């Protein structure tokens, strides 16, 4: 009978099994056990890594890509893991080989499921999208493996998935680089073409603006000339109206003057007719009167100045019969004073 004592590390999960039943389990256990009747299973209690590199994944456009990454997982259900993978502990040296084989077995299972999920995801993408899908692929792998029944059957749980690179084959890479280079050249040509078009368009806009400005200036000049002509026409029209009004006023004034002259002429004619009639009546009255009597009547009605004037008239009429007539200033003053 071989009795041994073993104290395990806190990073090791230990299951003590006797007659097919687990009698003790936990991390960092220490106990005596009979190697003839008791088996010991030791599993890592820390996170484990499963690096992967898939070089034969096909994309949706039938291009082969290489996927490199890493999966971190832990043993969550130790009893299930103990049933699926050999973790039998015999001694330290032999356990290293057992643990290496167990890890290889679990990595194989995990990476196989990861490859299947990656192939499914990348089959829906073309090569360009696949190369840029690192983060999306990692999230998809983590979710797929988290819900995978195969992972659960092994008692494992995926903690994280990281995709380091999704790369194409050298031939595809060169083709993509050439296509990208052509696309860059095309973009450069398009940029030059757009710049030229933009310059032409800007020049066209400037010329169009200049032309529009000239048109507007011409329109304004035309409107100005039309306004000046309209103003001049209005001034001429107003002047013509003033001239017409002035002419009409002159005509009206001449009509009034003509009517006044006609009226004055008519009045003068009537006055002349009245005087003629008066004279005719007087003449008819004195026609049959004695001349001496008529003269006496006339003289009786004259004042002294009229009589003196009449005397001088008679003297003048008889000047041929008068030799010398002397009229002194004193006589004239005395005659005027009478």
Domain with residue 124: its CATH number is 3.30.479.30
Tens-binned pLDDT, residue by residue, of the chain (338 aa): 578 888 999 999 999 999 889 899 999 999 998 888 899 999 999 999 999 999 889 999 899 999 999 999 999 999 999 999 999 998 888 889 999 999 999 999 999 999 999 999 999 999 999 999 999 999 999 999 999 998 999 999 999 999 999 998 888 878 877 777 888 888 888 888 888 888 888 888 988 888 888 888 888 888 888 888 888 888 888 887 887 788 887 788 888 878 787 888 888 888 877 777 776 666 666 556 556 655 655 555 556 556 566 666 666 666 666 666 666 666 566 656 55
First-to-last CA distance in the chain? 212
Question: What's the CA gap between 157 and 78, in Å, rounded?
Answer: 11
| H or E element, residue 239 | helix 170-286
Q: Is 251 within the bounds of a domain?
A: no
Question: What's the CA gap between 245 and 257, in Å, rounded?
Answer: 18
Q: Are residues 73 and 84 in the same domain?
A: yes
Q: Are residues 72 and 51 in the same domain?
A: yes
pLDDT, position 289: 56
Q: Are residues 54 and 1 in the same domain?
A: no
Half-sphere exposure of 202 (CA within 13 A, CB side): 6
Paired tokens of 1: 């009978």
Q: Is 268 within the bounds of a domain?
A: no
Q: Is 298 within the bounds of a domain?
A: no
Q: Is 256 within the bounds of a domain?
A: no
| H or E element, residue 71 | strand 64-75
Q: Are residues 55 and 33 in the same domain?
A: no
Paired tokens of 334: 């005395």
Final residue in a domain of this structure, among 168, 203, 228: 168
Q: Is 275 within the bounds of a domain?
A: no
Question: What's the CA gap between 293 and 92, in Å, rounded?
Answer: 205
Q: Are residues 54 and 82 in the same domain?
A: yes
Is the dihedral angle over the CA atoms 170, 171, 172, 173 positive or is it negative? positive
State which residues form the domain around 41. Answer: 1-46
Q: Are residues 61 and 155 in the same domain?
A: yes
- Residue 309: other Cβ atoms inside 10 A: 12
| H or E element, residue 219 | helix 170-286
Q: Are residues 62 and 42 in the same domain?
A: no
Question: What's the CA gap between 11 and 243, in Å, rounded?
Answer: 127
Q: Are residues 105 and 163 in the same domain?
A: yes
Structural domains in the chain (count)? 3
Q: 146: closest CA among 137, 157, 135?
A: 157
Q: 105: closest CA among 142, 155, 144?
A: 155
State residue 5 phi and psi, 5-degree precision: -120, 135
Q: Give residue for tokens 């860059």.
A: 184
Q: Are residues 39 and 73 in the same domain?
A: no
Question: What's the CA gap between 311 and 325, in Å, rounded?
Answer: 13
Paired tokens of 21: 């039943």
User: What one-character DSSP code corresponds to residue 35?
Assistant: T
Question: What's the CA gap between 163 and 215, in Å, rounded?
Answer: 67
Residue 41, classed as helix, strand or coil, is strand
Q: Which residues of 141-153 are buried (b: 16+ CB within 10 A; e: fewer)?
A: bbebbeebeebee
Q: Give residue for tokens 């790369």.
A: 167
Give pTM, 2 decimals.
Answer: 0.54
Q: Give residue for tokens 């995990």.
A: 110
3-state helix, strand, coil in the chain (%, to 5): 65, 20, 15
- Residue 121: other Cβ atoms inside 10 A: 19
């Amino acid at each position: 009978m071989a009795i041994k004592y073993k104290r395990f590390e806190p990073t090791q999960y230990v299951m003590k099994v006797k007659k097919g039943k687990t009698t003790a389990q936990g991390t960092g256990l220490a106990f005596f056990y009979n190697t003839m009747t008791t088996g010991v299973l030791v599993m890592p209690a820390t996170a484990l890594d499963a690096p992967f590199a898939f070089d034969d994944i096909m994309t949706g456009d039938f291009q082969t890509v290489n996927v490199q990454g890493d999966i971190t997982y832990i043993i969550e259900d130790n009893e299930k893991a103990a049933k699926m993978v050999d973790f039998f502990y015999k001694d330290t040296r032999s356990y290293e080989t057992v643990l290496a084989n167990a890890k290889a077995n679990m990595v194989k299972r995990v990476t196989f499921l990861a490859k299947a999920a990656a192939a499914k995801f990348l089959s829906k993408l073309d090569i360009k999208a696949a190369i840029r899908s690192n983060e999306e692929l990692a999230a998809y792998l983590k979710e797929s493996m988290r819900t995978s029944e195969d992972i659960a059957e092994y008692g494992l749980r995926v903690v994280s998935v990281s995709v380091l690179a999704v790369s194409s084959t050298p031939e595809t890479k060169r083709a993509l680089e050439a296509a990208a280079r052509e696309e860059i050249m095309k973009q450069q040509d398009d940029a030059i073409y757009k710049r030229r078009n933009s310059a032409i368009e800007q020049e066209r806009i400037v010329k169009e603006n200049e032309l529009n400005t000239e048109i507007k200036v011409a329109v304004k000049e035309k409107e100005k000339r039309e306004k000046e002509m309209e103003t001049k026409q209005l001034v001429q029209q107003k002047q013509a109206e003033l001239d017409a009004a002035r002419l009409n006023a002159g005509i009206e004034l001449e009509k009034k003057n003509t009517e006044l002259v006609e009226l004055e002429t008519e009045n003068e004619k009537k006055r002349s007719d009245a005087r003629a009639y008066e004279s005719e009546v007087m003449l008819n009255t004195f026609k049959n009167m004695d001349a001496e009597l008529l003269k006496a009547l006339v003289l009786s009605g004259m004042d002294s100045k009229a009589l003196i004037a009449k005397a001088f008239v008679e003297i003048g009429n008889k000047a041929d019969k008068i030799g010398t007539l002397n009229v002194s200033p004193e006589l004239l003053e005395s005659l005027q004073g009478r």
